[in-house]
Chains A and B, each alone.
Chain A
Amino acid sequence: MAGVGSACLVIGLLTALYAAGASLYGARSGRREWVASGRRAVYCLAALLVTAFAILEAAFLRSDFSYALVAEGSSTDTPGFYKVTAVWATQDGSLLLWSTLLALFSSAVLFLTRRSLREIAPYATAVLGAVAAFFLLLMVAWENPFDTLAVPPPEGAGLNPLLRHPAMMIHPPMLYTGYVGFSIPFAFAIGALITRRTGADWIRATRRFALVAWTFLGTGIMLGALWSYTELGWGGYWGWDPVENASLMPWLVGTAFLHSIMVQEKRGMLKVWNVSLICGTFALALLGTFLVRSGILESIHAFGASTIGVQFLVFISLVVALSAGLILLRLPDLRSRARLDSLLSREAFFLLNNLVLVGLCLVILWGTFFPLISEALTGKEASVGPPWFNRLTTPLALALVLLAGIGPVLTWRRVTAQSLLRVLRAPVLVTAVAVAALLAFTDAGQSVPSLAMFSFVAFVLSVVAQEFWRGATARRVMTGESWPRALARLTGRNRRRYGGYLTHAGIAVLFLGVAASSAFLEQRDVRLSPGDTIQVGAYTVTYREATAKLGGDDAGTGAPISLGAVLDVRKGDERFTLRPSRNYYSSNDPSLGAISRFFEGEATSEVDVRWGLRRDMWLAVRPDLASLEGPIREADRRFSDSPGDVQALVIAALAERYQNRPPPAAFRAIVSPLVAWIWIGGAIAVLGALVAAWPSPEARLRRVRSLYAARVGRELSRA
């Protein structure tokens, strides 16, 4: 079957090249049948890649270690769910997923636009075909996921334990769907530039894809943050790691794009800006895919260690150079008819929001690549840490949230000061009351940036509430509907607008959680023996007893050994128990002893969190194995040649020894206020984006009617 998979990739490469060539030739020569053939080649490519992906997936499920990839990234004792997802934890498998998603998305958009955009679509097909061809070339020439081993090992290396977390396994496909989704508007933007059809047609055709991509990318980023919070054992959700930054950057520029295309749709302005934004988003999406693979930033000198780093760099440079060149070449066609009438207008504030978002992206880009910049300029390898990122991004994030509140109440073209005052009166009043209450009843005043964020969040929420209230009231006056019905109808009939408001509210709530949890977090790192008690914030934490489990860790990750702790937590009348633990995965290192390899492999923290709307109580434990070292060495000597079941008994005895005579263990306890609102806010934002992206019944009706009208017209002209 590996041969079939490889063949799928080679034929896929040829198909992608054919799709690009045929649609280009068809567009140039005006022969529609070639364009249609190119489009069908893309459908065919999707079928080929889905087949290849299914073959690889089946190999993982069967634990067929004759596939090098399966031997590298899975094992028979990897739980079933993680076998399915281990495919994209490997480099080659993730490239295959990327290209499969790209082919599926391309097919979808080409199918939807098969009767419209006749000039632009062939060029878009060519761009999508070229991108797919690049990824297929990577796999065919350098990173073939179907490489086989002449002598299959009896057991695979297993999935990296750190990745054995539900969020981490859904996170990569989410990110890829986001990255891939942005390639659709990019391809159509390039098509629009080539054909000089720089109106809003390409935007209307691909806007929904951009929105869906944005939603998936955002969800992926949130899941990554959740994984960091619950799996990495350091208690934070964002560490300004290059890999995190790589996914955030295209999301920020994509956010700017989603806003500024509205200005082009409504006012015919910002054309250069829009095509630049989507080209930038796509280039950053490629950069994100590349950064994860190259290892270039974690260790600069490892550059070239990855087999495909150079190819990626060449491709990204090509994309940037070609799109920049094309935009410059088409500058005369991109001139807008309209001008900015007033700085007090929705379009001016959209532009401002765009500048803040792009500025934020540039700050992150600079910080992420600072090690390279520093080495190039000063010859010294240096880096900037999270404090630097926090200091520079805080003011920009504040500005962003404030603008998210002001933008919705402004009208296009211009706003009079009077009408602005009228719509802002209530929200400003609410904000003032909220700030006064915060200062009076909480210690929010201790952190000025957080207080500012709290007040802006209150402002955004009250603006959004006012918008919903005004719309629903208007409906109620006109139709006499009940409140819930009026709200539902209002949102359903104006999905883009009210979906957008919901997203603004969600982002504001998210920042509420970020501001509160970063400024008012209480953390303690301590070593405790059973019976010891510490105070964390308002909580009293007592280490009751140690636990040891064999082959059945709580999270179901298939860890052979899990050592943990039971802690009683008390705050006033509130009492609960937390059971953090640490999973130990055996190592395949032959230099280790038969017993010690069970303790010396990878280990991961399984933190326990008491989730709460007001605050989370987060606990991680790190058992100290120093007291077991002697017995483990001894067991290594005496039981190295014993059969497996005897060794299992020895390990059980060692675990029991840990449980019965526990040495002091290291704990990290964190009380983090309002952190749950980050996830809630993210979910609201995603919900809003889904509302905005969902096709409205009216639009579908309109499309059907126009298709029908076209057919009637054709038939009439024939008659």
Chain B
Amino acid sequence: MVKVVTDSCSDITPQLAQELGITVVPLYVQFGNETYRDNVDLSTEEFYHKLETSKVHPATSTATPADFAKVFNKLAEETKEILTITLSEKFSAIYAAALQGKSMVKKDCQIEVIDSRGGAGAQMLLVILAAQMARAGANLDQIVDQVKKAIPRVHVRISFDTLEYLRRGGRIGKAQAFLGGLLKLNPILGIKDGAAFPIARCRNRAQAMDFLVNFVKGFSRIEAMAIEDATTPDDLQALAERLKDVVPPEHTYLSKVSPVVGTHVGPHVLLVAVLEAE
């Protein structure tokens, strides 16, 4: 059976990863001299508490080629086919790290690395698709083909209450058009060509949530949906409730943005990703 690997920026919950047999390679987050493995040594709750109280702003770093090589070598003991889906190379060097990790593997095992062209929920939906196909018995080529075809059908909208975290982390891209507004705004970003892209601006949280709901309702058929928050579970539940008639709950995945993603998006994001049906 094909084994599916991803990085911690996919925000797949440990339960779901276990259930679907997905191996998650953690990135790293550092507060000063302390380094934590994303979602392993530091839970999301602990992280956001630290983010809001710590005097030092956290830094993030990619998983190393060796981290990937270690995972690949271990998995190669039980499979001949491994698929890795990473965070967009526009956000991180993790895609390159995975490729290098692949080249370090000496065992007889076919390894494919795909750039998800996104992150968080958008990446999550591709990983889930791949894992489900693997469990259904598809081979590596079939899965790679389907995942690559699915990439353009994944759409994501992220509501921010500030773009400061994204700007500070240098990942703001074209969304810098939304910086510096003298009005209090909730900008909505998407991901386009693997990078952050400005979509729209709402005047407050309520408008932003309406925007996310209308975004989802704008699709005629949706295969799967991911909804994420960081520190606002009530808003997450409210969104899920409003969307439960649009996408069935069994195709809806709720999660929290991981500490590494959270470092760059801040504690008040709300995110919706959909995989549009073919």
Q: Say whether A associates with B.
A: no
**Which residues of A come within 8 Å of B, CB atoms?**
none
Report which B residues bind A (CB closer than 8 A).
none
